[in-house]
Amino acid sequence: MISQKMETELNKQLNEELFSSYLYLSMCAYFEDKNLEGMAQWMRMQAEEENLHAMKFFDYIIRVGGRVKLEAIKKPKFSWKSPKAAFEDALAHEKHITGRINFLVDLAYSEKDHATATFLNWFVDEQVEEEDTVTKIVESFKLIGNDPSGLFLLDRELSQRNAAGDTQN
C-alpha cells in the first residue's frame, strides 16, 4: 500500500509521461511537415517509448493498491523555429522529467516507501540515458550549423532508430 501523497504524485507522473508521448508525437508531426522523415521516425519511437513509461506507472499504481486517476493532458507545442529548436525543447523536457523523477525518489525515501524507491530506480537510470541521447543530438546540430548536407545526414542517421524491443534493422 502506498500513501495518499505518493499515489497523487505517481498519478501526476503518469500524466507527465502521457504528455511526453503527446509532445514527441507533436514533434513527429512537425518533422513530417518539414520532410525530415528520419527525425520524424526518431520522435515517433520516442513517443511510443514514453507511452510505455506511462504504462509502467499505470501498472505500478494498481499493483500497490493505489487508484489510477487520469487527468487531462495539456496541449503540446506544435511548431518550432527549426529542427534544432525542437530537439532543444526535447532536451529541456527530459531535464524536467528528470527533476520529477528525482522528486519522486526523494518522496519515496522520506516516506520509507522502499518498494516505490526501487520501482523508480529504473526511471533514474532511464533519464540518464534519455538526457545523454538528446544532448548528443543537440550537439550534432551545433556542429552542423546551417549546412543542409549535415542536416540531411543527421536526418538519415536518426532514421535508424528502431522501436523498443525491435532487433531487426
User: Looking at the whole model, is its pTM more than 0.85?
Assistant: yes
| Residues recorded for the chain | 169
Please report the pLDDT score of residue 86 as a whole number: 98
Q: What is the mean pLDDT of residues 7-28?
A: 98
Please report the pLDDT score of residue 163 as a whole number: 60
- Cα separation, 151 vs 169, in Å, equals 22
Q: Give me the half-sphere count of Cα atoms (radius 13 Å) on the Cβ side of residue 70.
A: 7
Please report the pLDDT score of residue 165 as a whole number: 44
Domain range list for the chain = 4-158
Query: How many Å is the Cα radius of gyration of the chain?
Result: 17
Q: What is the mean pLDDT of residues 105-129?
A: 98
136-149 in b/e form (b: 16+ CB < 10 A) is ebbebbeebeeeee
pLDDT grade, residue 169 (50/70/90)? very low
Please report the pLDDT score of residue 164 as a whole number: 54
- Cα separation, 120 vs 108, in Å, equals 9
Rounded to the nearest 10 degrees, the angle between the axes of helix 37-63 and helix 148-158 is 40
Q: Which three cell numbers stand for residue 73?
A: 493532458
Element at 92 (helix H, strand E): helix 83-110
Please report the pLDDT score of residue 71 as a whole number: 97
pLDDT grade, residue 1 (50/70/90)? confident
In a 10 Å sphere around its CB, with 0-12 CB exposed, 13-18 middle and 19+ buried, how is residue 20 labelled? buried
Model pLDDT for residues 76-89, shown as the tens digit of each residue: 999 999 999 999 99
Residue reference for cell 523508480: 120
Q: Which amino acid is at 153?
A: L
Please report the pLDDT score of residue 161 as a whole number: 83
Whether 161 and 45 have beta carbons less than 8 Å apart is answered as yes
- Cα separation, 70 vs 93, in Å, equals 21
Q: Which amino acid is at 79?
A: S
Model pLDDT for residues 22-75, shown as the tens digit of each residue: 999 999 999 999 999 999 999 999 999 999 999 999 999 999 999 999 999 999
Q: What percent of the chain has pLDDT over 90?
A: 93
Which CATH number applies to 4-158: 1.20.1260.10, 3.40.720.10, 3.40.50.150, 1.10.10.10?
A: 1.20.1260.10
Model pLDDT for residues 119-168, shown as the tens digit of each residue: 999 999 999 999 999 999 999 999 999 899 999 999 999 999 876 544 44
